[in-house]
Amino acid sequence: MNATHLTKLKLLALVSGPILVLDQITKAWILANLPLGGGFTVVPGFFDITHVHNPGGAFGFLAGLGAEVRTLLFVAVALAAIALVLVFYWQTPTAERATAFGLALVLGGAVGNLVDRVRFGVVVDFLDVYAGELHWPAFNVADSAITIGVVLIAVRMLLQRDPPAECPKP
């Protein structure tokens, strides 16, 4: 393994590893201390900790499928996504630190939610943000890492200074 691969592997471990650990520790605390549906207010009128389970994908997508089919589908999709993230990560030039960091965040989050799917058949969510009647679906540390990672990658792509390829002349 050359120095570049070692550097990339270190970054991946230093970003994805703590995300996975923090995600699983917070979910373990929720499972041990709050009954399903239970919670408490952190910032009145804005933020609660509420123990919920998401059997579906993002925003409850496909939650109505049978439990076994849903779990197999989401595990397969998560494994494919993890494989793609790893391929993109290894193909990302070392100089593209923001992209690599974003991909490492996405990987840590994807693995965190995959662990839940394999263990429980659902994802444990608990971060509950709202304002009056406006209510965001509950989420977790893994979801936050995925979102931040995707935003970093998108911003990097939007700010990229590479000139567009010229169109062929007729």
State how far the Cα of 138 lies from the Cα of 59, in Å rounded to an integer: 8
Please indicate whether residue 48 is annotated as part of the active site.
no
pLDDT of 168: 62
Catalytic residue among 23, 116, 125, 128: 125
- DSSP type of residue 160: -
pLDDT of 126: 98
Q: What share of the chain is helix, strand, coil (3-state, %, to 5)?
A: 60, 15, 25
The single residue listed with the structure tokens 């979102």 is 147
What is the chain's pLDDT, residue by residue, as a tens digit (170 residues)? Answer: 788 888 899 999 999 999 999 999 999 999 999 999 999 999 999 999 999 999 876 555 666 667 788 788 889 999 999 999 999 999 999 889 999 999 999 999 999 999 999 999 899 999 999 998 899 999 999 999 999 999 999 999 999 876 555 556 66
pLDDT of 69: 82
Please indicate whether residue 143 is annotated as part of the active site.
yes
The single residue listed with the structure tokens 């406006």 is 134
Q: Which amino acid is at 5?
A: H
Domain boundaries, the chain: 3-36+47-159
State how far the Cα of 35 lies from the Cα of 130, in Å rounded to an integer: 21
pLDDT of 108: 98
State how far the Cα of 108 lies from the Cα of 19, in Å rounded to an integer: 5
Exposure pattern of 68-105 as b/e (b: 16+ CB <10 Å)? eebbeebeeebeebeeebeebbeebeeeeeebbbbbbb
Catalytic residue among 23, 116, 128, 143: 143
Q: Which two tokens stand for residue 152?
A: 């970093």
pTM of this structure = 0.87
Q: Which two tokens stand for residue 74?
A: 């989401």
pLDDT of 141: 98
